[in-house]
């Protein structure tokens, strides 16, 4: 089998899609990590400082982590040869919108986009309820 070659370089390679593969690990991280970080930060602040609510620190950590992951994802898209449109910069403000635009832009399925809506809505509702009470 030492004479084998990649399908892209074979005579039938023209039949395959030439679009570069985009790794979605940062998109999945954008969908899941803010939710996990919010609860981890709340847990740590509850254990170590029970007299003080750390919601503002948790949100700051989530925002910083989201911007870092968004930057890595943008770099990943550029390296794979995609030209970024104006909607791709919505990731700085609304992660679920960015994940839907990214899925459509790259031709991927919407799994990480749907998964990103649930944590976003849950965190939003928790912060809203905490601010009311």
What's the number of domains the chain is made of?
Answer: 1
pLDDT of residue 33: 82
Q: What is the pTM of this model?
A: 0.67
pLDDT of residue 53: 56
Q: Can you give the three-state secondary structure of 91-126, one letter per residue?
A: HHCCHHHHHHHHHHHHCCCCHHHHHHHHHHHHHHHH
User: What are the mean pLDDT values of the chain's consecutive 10-residue runs (133 residues total)?
Assistant: 65 54 87 79 71 63 85 89 75 80 86 84 82 81
For residue 93, being part of any structural domain is answered with yes
- Cα 114 to chain centroid distance, Å, stands at 11
For residue 15, being part of any structural domain is answered with no
For residue 39, being part of any structural domain is answered with yes
For 27, counting Cβ atoms within 10 Å of its Cβ (0-12 exposed, 13-18 middle, 19+ buried), the class is buried
d(CA 28, CA 99): 9
pLDDT of residue 72: 93
For residue 4, being part of any structural domain is answered with no
d(CA 15, CA 33): 38
For residue 100, being part of any structural domain is answered with yes
For residue 1, being part of any structural domain is answered with no
For residue 121, being part of any structural domain is answered with yes
Its domain, for residue 51, covers 27-132
């Amino acid at each position: 089998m030492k004479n084998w070659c990649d399908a892209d370089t074979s005579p039938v390679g023209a039949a395959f899609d030439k679009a570069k593969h985009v790794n979605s690990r940062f998109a999945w991280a954008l969908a899941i990590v803010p939710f996990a970080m919010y609860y981890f930060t709340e847990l740590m602040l509850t254990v170590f400082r029970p007299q003080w609510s750390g919601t503002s620190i948790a949100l700051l950590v989530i925002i910083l982590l989201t911007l870092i992951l968004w930057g890595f994802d943008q770099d990943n898209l550029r390296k794979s040869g995609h030209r970024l449109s104006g909607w791709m910069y919505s990731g700085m403000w609304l992660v679920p919108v960015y994940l839907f635009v990214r899925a459509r832009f790259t031709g991927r399925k919407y799994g990480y986009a749907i998964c990103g809506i649930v944590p976003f809505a849950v965190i939003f509702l928790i912060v809203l309820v905490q601010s009311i009470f």
